[in-house]
Amino acid sequence: MPILEMRGITKEFPGVKALDNVNLSVEEGEIHALVGENGAGKSTLMKVLSGVYPHGSYEGDILFDGAVKAFHSIRDSERDGIIIIHQELALVPLLSVGENIFLGNERARGGVIDWHETNHRAKDLLERVGLHERPETIVDDLGLGKQQLVEIAKALSKNVRLLILDEPTSSLNETDSQKLLDLLLEFKAKGITSILISHKLNEISRVADTITVLRDGSTVSRLDCEGGISEDDIIRDMVGRSLEDRYPPRAPRIGETVMEVRNWTVHHPLHPERKVVDNVSFHVRKGEVLGIAGLMGAGRTELAMSLFGRSYGRDISGEALIGGQPADLSTVRRAVNAGLAYATEDRKTFGLVLDQTIRRNIPLAKLEAVARNGVVDSHREAEVAETYRDRLNIKSSSIEQEVVNLSGGNQQKVVLSKWLFADPDILILDEPTRGIDVGAKFEIYTVIRDLAASGKAIIVISSEMPELLGITDRLYVMNEGRFVGEMPTAEASQERIMSTIIKTGQAA
Amino acid sequence: MTETTSPHAETSPSTMGASFAFLKTHLREYGILFALIAIMLFFQVATGGILLKPVNLTNLILQNSYIVIMAIGMLMVIVCGHIDLSVGSVLGFVGALAAVMIVNWGVPWLLAGVICLGVGAVIGAAQGFWIAYFRIPSFIVTLAGMLVFKGLTLWLLEGQSVGPFPAQFRLISSGFVPDLLGGAEMNLFSLLIGIAVASLILGLAIRTRRQEQTRGINDEPFAFFAVKNALIFAALVYMSWLMADFRGLPNVFIVMALLIAVYSFVTSRTTFGRRIYAIGGNEKAASLSGINSQRLTFLTFANMGMLAALAGLVFAARLNTATPKAGIAFELDVIAAVFIGGASMSGGVGTVVGAVIGAFIMGVMNNGMSILGIGIDWQQVIKGLVLLAAVIFDVMNKKKG
Ligand SMILES: Nc1ncnc2c1ncn2[C@@H]1O[C@H](COP(=O)(O)OP(=O)(O)OP(=O)(O)O)[C@@H](O)[C@H]1O
Ligand SMILES: [Mg+2]
């Protein structure tokens, strides 16, 4: 008997039917994968299940353990052991690991927190998820991978029966992702059921027992993974056609050097003695797609942000030349004027004005271009927004939709649109396809290729090595703040990159 | 790409049902306007028609002008993600400064006025400087400013009231638009201005609707559009007729109308305005988009200071004297007006027109309750509850959407 059955779920938002008669059936003790394109309705379905959207705000039935459930809040669903870990982590950065694990569920006697018990139990839980940190550690001091494990420890503290993970690995590096998947398999052995949402199909085919595919808010198919399943099969159901190649063909025409950085060193903003970027030198040429490989925490984002208007770090030293001339990159405005742009990996915090519409977000970095004498021409603005909505295929009811209501992948496309519109000579893309579905990835790769073909220099920071190998011309490998290797992509392989990292450092 | 049709686009645009459906989805935008109308109707009935008597209407506008003027500046400050608690004290200080300059030192009133506006801008800029460039929380900086300028007002006036002002200065507040047409019964010129402004607004509304329709982004049913604009037109003409019937449009009214028009335009149509909303919505993202959030924050506070100074002149001219008590607790009314008008505490949301309507809601309640003889004690209670209700309504409405 299935542990969970969702029958005929329909959920509408003003102007959008996010779910249309969706069925989902999950067996006890299995890992059930939920896949689909950006905006297919995966997160929405899980929010319906966990009571984020309360009973009554959707149609259809939820059966858990054979009984019809009407969850009115997350607390209701948690009481039954359904725990959701959202696409965006929900930890309080300045509280300790232990405090976060028991947030809202404090170990207390008569309202007074029992710190001994808290830290003791937290320690147990941390061990169960394989995280070797003290419960007193402040969450903010942990990397994303570890924070993710804290979330899972928090879930375990609540007596979980069904664990829902919404894109848990999208911001994790290869090693951390593997660890997390191993953990899921371990849980499975102990009888915990999980639902896994991911765009990384290799992960899915590795751990999933059953896959439900959503497309445009409807269930398309239910695939049984016993006996193996190929990624191509999943893709076909996801996008409704088979995808010949994962990467568009390219014929790079590489010109002269446009940007050169010499001896770039950046110190940590709070711990000035720590070098986050250490004496890095590199160059990028016209028409070239340059990749920066490395593990999460290698300092790639910090390098990019420190170049882009000194938006990160302190005591920055080194030289940056654009077109052979020393470039003034001291503020974001100046960096943009010098032809540089940086599309952030953290779209919610750094990329978008969430409460505003697509129309307002896209032209933001170059508002002058849609204005005359300081007065915004709303016609032009709308045209621009429409153009990019079409070009990047941003799934939305219209350009007037607030970006907070877009699915994660479509938010990412809005960030990209903003910088494409700013029309820089050198574009730094930080994890440009994070949380983006396979079909849309291909579209973004095509955009990158076409930009390079038009003579732009593109720098791609990515933790997905196949992606770097598939779309770049040349690679630098970064580890612990330093550039430790450079190679033409034609001569690179995942093994070679990893061995470069390991050889040079105390890589984890 | 999937085209999802919005629910109201399918329905026939001319039916009542469509209008109501539209209203339901846009309740947040119009709710506040309805609230104002409802409150006015209530007091019109409760006071036996006194509320909309020409003399009272004129008074109402004069009484609220300085709150409205400051609410415009405060709206921008709040949209930017900040707050300014010092405006009441700055208003008092500038009034005192004007009195000392004009009455004690004999500085020509026009020159003194210009100096005062400059001083206001400098005060705002000084506070904005710490807030924008040193990231000192605005709550603290302006709380300090509130104390400082309250003290400086006392010092400047040496604890006394200073007045009276020359007649020309008083005209800012107590003057009326002269009747160039020489109407016998009423101020015809004023009426004409009223009709002209109402027509202009109507024309603009029609133009915008056309433009939006050609781009396919307007889903407002025609019936709704027609009724709404007819009402606005009628209300404006009726009010100017009422005022023309008394002594004409007050000078401050013209000043206010100009400010509303200019700042509405600035906030909604200029790059400056757009950027302020972006900063309030997500400062980090705005900065990383190349927006100079520090300078814009600074300018927003300088602007607030200048508007507070203007309000100070209007207030002093109206009282015809500068007193150490002037401006005390005004900041609360101003901030309340902005939040009643739909602005969000966390920044990035709000409109000038909303803030002005919010100010008038407060004003009409003050005025109406005074006419009814409700004591100052209960007035405060009721105003507090209205503020709370307005914000609760806003939040609930947003949740639902
Ligand atoms: N609060 C909301 N208001 C309006 N529309 C919404 C809201 N939340 C989601 N949507 C819409 O519902 C659809 C499904 O969104 P959902 O977040 O479930 O997608 P997803 O499958 O999780 O995509 P991704 O892989 O990009 O995270 C999208 O078209 C989105 O724009
Ligand atoms: Mg999602």
Contact B272 A364 (CB under 8 A): no
A257 and A406, same domain (yes or no): no
**Percentage of residues in chain A with pLDDT exceeding 90?**
50
Contact criterion met (CB below 8 Å) for A277 and A299: yes
Strand partners, A342: A428
CB contact A387 to B (< 8 Å): no
- Would B233 be classed as within a structural domain? yes
Ligand having the closest approach to the CA of A358: 1
Domain shared by A317 and A395, yes or no: no
Asked if residue B229 and residue B328 are part of one domain, the reply reads no
Q: Tell whether A24 and A38 lie within a shared domain.
A: yes
Q: What tens digit of pLDDT does each residue of A11-62 get?
A: 998 778 899 999 999 999 999 999 998 889 999 999 999 998 999 999 999 9
Domain count, chain B: 2
Per-residue confidence (pLDDT) for residue B7, from 0 to 100: 42
State the distance between the two ends of chain A, measured CA to CA, in whole angstroms: 42
Asked if residue A63 is part of any domain, the answer here is yes
Q: Which residues line ligand 1 at a C-beta cut-off of 6 Å?
A: A 13, 16, 18, 36, 38-44, 395-396, 405-410
Q: Is residue A412 part of a domain?
A: yes
Same domain, B209 and B187: yes
Residue B399: its pLDDT value, please?
A: 62
Pocket test for ligand 1, best of A6, A200, A394, A406 (most atoms within 8 A of CB): A406
Q: What pLDDT does residue B226 have? A: 87
CA angle A134, A136, A140 (to 5 degrees): 95
From B249, B268, B295, the end of a domain falls on B249
The H-or-E segment that residue B243 falls in is helix B222-246
Q: Which of B4, B133, B219, B276 to mutate to test the interface with A (most CBs of A within 10 A)?
A: B4
A347 falls within a domain: no
Instruction: Look at residues B209, B225, B249 and tell me which one is the last residue of a structural domain.
Output: B249
pLDDT at A216: 86
Contact B271 A368 (CB under 8 A): yes
Is residue B288 within 8 Å of A344, Cβ to Cβ? Answer: yes
**Largest Cα–Cα distance in chain A?**
71
A 185-214 near B (Cβ less than 8 A): none
User: By residue range, what is the domain housing residue A166?
Assistant: 2-239
Do B235 and B327 reside in the same domain of the chain? no
Q: Which chain A residue has the Cα nearest residue B211? A: A379
Is residue B30 situated within a structural domain? Answer: no
Reduce the DSSP state of residue B258 to 3 states and report it: helix
Asked if A278 and A401 sit in the same domain, the reply is no
Q: Quick one: pLDDT at residue A252?
A: 84
Contact A197, A38 (CB under 8 A): no
Reference B128, options B145, B114, B113; nearest CA is B145
A54 with A194, same domain: the answer is: yes
Do B192 and B128 reside in the same domain of the chain? no
- Domain membership of residue B110 (yes or no) is yes
How high is the pLDDT of residue B263?
Answer: 95
Residue nearest to atom 2 of ligand 1 (CA): A405
Residue B202 lies in a domain: yes
Interchain proximity A364–B292, CB inside 8 Å: no
Answer yes or no: do A353 and B4 touch at CB < 8 A: no
Domain that holds residue B392: 46-175+250-400
Residues B128, B221, single domain; the answer is no
CB of A11 within 8 Å of any CB in chain B?
no
Same structural domain, A460 and A442: yes
Expressed in angstroms and rounded, the spacing between residue A215 Cα and the centre of ligand 1 is 12
239-278 in chain A: CB under 8 A from chain B? none
CATH of the domain at B81: 1.10.3470
A374 and B215 in contact by Cβ < 8 A? no
Q: Give yes or no: residues B236 and B375 share one domain.
A: no
Residue at A400 is within a domain: yes
User: Tell me, what's the pLDDT at B217?
Assistant: 66
**Same domain? B274 vs B368:** yes
Q: Are residues A356 and A430 in the same domain?
A: no
Q: Which residues of B touch A (CB under 8 A)?
A: 1-2, 4-7, 25, 211, 215, 217, 269-272, 274-275, 277-278, 281-282, 284-292, 348-349, 401
Q: How many A from CA of B393 to the centre of ligand 2?
A: 30
Answer yes or no: do B73 and B159 share one domain: yes
Query: How distant is the alpha carbon of residue B359 from its chain centre?
Result: 6
- Of B204, B229, B249, the residue that ends a domain is B249
Decide if B26 is inside a domain: no
- Give, rounded to a whole angstrom, the gap between the first and last alpha carbons of chain B: 24
Clarify whether residues A282 and A362 are in a common domain: no
Residue A347 identity (one-letter amino acid): R
Tell me, what's the pLDDT at A393? Answer: 87
Looking at the CA of residue A410, tell me the nearest atom of ligand 1: 26
Q: What is the CATH number of the domain that holds A443?
A: 3.40.50.300
> Given A381, A404, A423, which residue is the final one in a domain?
A423
Is B288 in Cβ contact with A332 (below 8 Å)? Answer: yes
Is residue A344 a part of any domain in this protein? no
Q: Are residues B225 and B119 in the same domain?
A: no
**Interface size, chain A vs chain B, as Cβ–Cβ contacts under 8 Å:** 99
Identify the segments of chain A with pLDDT beneath 50.
507-508
Ranges of chain B whose pLDDT falls below 70: 1-16, 25, 28, 182-184, 216-217, 398-401
Which pair of tokens denotes residue A399?
A: 């350009």
Pick B270's closest partner by Cβ from A14, A356, A374: A374
Dump pLDDT digits (tens) for A205-254. 889 999 999 988 999 988 888 877 888 888 888 877 766 778 888 888 89
Please enumerate in sequence order all residues whose Cβ is within 8 A of that of B286, keeping only pairs 6 or more positions apart, or say none. Answer: A353, A364, B275, B278, B279, B293
A21 touches chain B (CB under 8 A): no
Domain count of chain A?
A: 3
Same domain, B375 and B387: yes
Residue B36 falls within a domain, yes or no? no
- Identify whether residues A405 and A430 lie together within a single domain: no
For the stretch B97-156, pLDDT in tens is 999 999 999 999 999 999 999 999 999 999 999 999 999 999 999 999 999 999 999 999
CA of A430 to the centre of ligand 2 (A): 19
Query: Rounded to the nearest whole angstrom, what is the distance from the C-alpha of residue B188 to the centroid of ligand 1?
Result: 58
CB nearest B271 (choices: A14, A336, A367): A367
A346 occurs within a structural domain: no
In a domain, B39, yes or no: no
The verdict on B279 and B391 lying in the same domain is: yes
Amino acid at A495: E
For residue B299, being part of any structural domain is answered with yes
Confidence (pLDDT) at A378: 85
